[in-house]
């Protein structure tokens, strides 16, 4: 999703407006901290001009835009 947004030269704010969603929700989707509803995937696909399936492809390891897994929090004992 981020790659398509950048390809179009749109900001998160612009894409969120076009897809009728909040920018913070779009940011969460791009970072992989939330899962989109079917309705959200459809609205994003229309706003980006792509097929919905294109947004559901799993990112490859060499994809610079793939979400990173958060580091596990360390306990006091591990520090």
Q: What is the mean pLDDT of each run of 10 residues along the chain (79 residues)?
A: 90 96 94 92 95 81 62 65
In a domain, residue 22? The reply is yes
Considering its fold, how many domains does the chain have in total?
A: 1
Kindly state whether residue 41 falls inside one of the protein's structural domains.
yes
| Residue 3 confidence (pLDDT) | 87
Let me know if residue 62 belongs to a domain.
Answer: no
| pLDDT value, residue 70 | 60
pLDDT of residue 63: 63
- Can you list the alpha helix ranges (DSSP code H) found in 1-79? 2-7, 12-18, 23-31, 38-48, 52-55
Per-residue pLDDT at 78: 61
Q: Domain for residue 27, yes or no?
A: yes
Segments forming the whole domain that contains residue 24: 2-57
Distance separating alpha carbons of residues 59 and 11, to the nearest angstrom: 21
3-state helix, strand, coil in the chain (%, to 5): 50, 0, 50
pLDDT value at residue 57: 77
Contact between 27 and 21 under an 8 Å Cβ cutoff? The reply is no
| CATH code of the domain covering residue 33 | 1.10.260.40
Residue 69 lies in a domain: no
Q: What is the pLDDT of residue 71?
A: 62
């Amino acid at each position: 999703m981020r790659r398509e947004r950048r390809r179009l030269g749109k900001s998160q704010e612009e894409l969120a407006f076009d897809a009728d969603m909040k920018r913070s929700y779009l940011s969460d989707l791009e970072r992989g901290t939330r899962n989109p509803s079917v309705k959200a995937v459809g609205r994003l696909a229309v706003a980006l001009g792509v097929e919905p399936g294109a947004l559901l492809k799993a990112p490859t390891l060499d994809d610079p835009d793939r979400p990173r897994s958060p580091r596990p929090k360390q306990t006091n004992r591990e520090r």
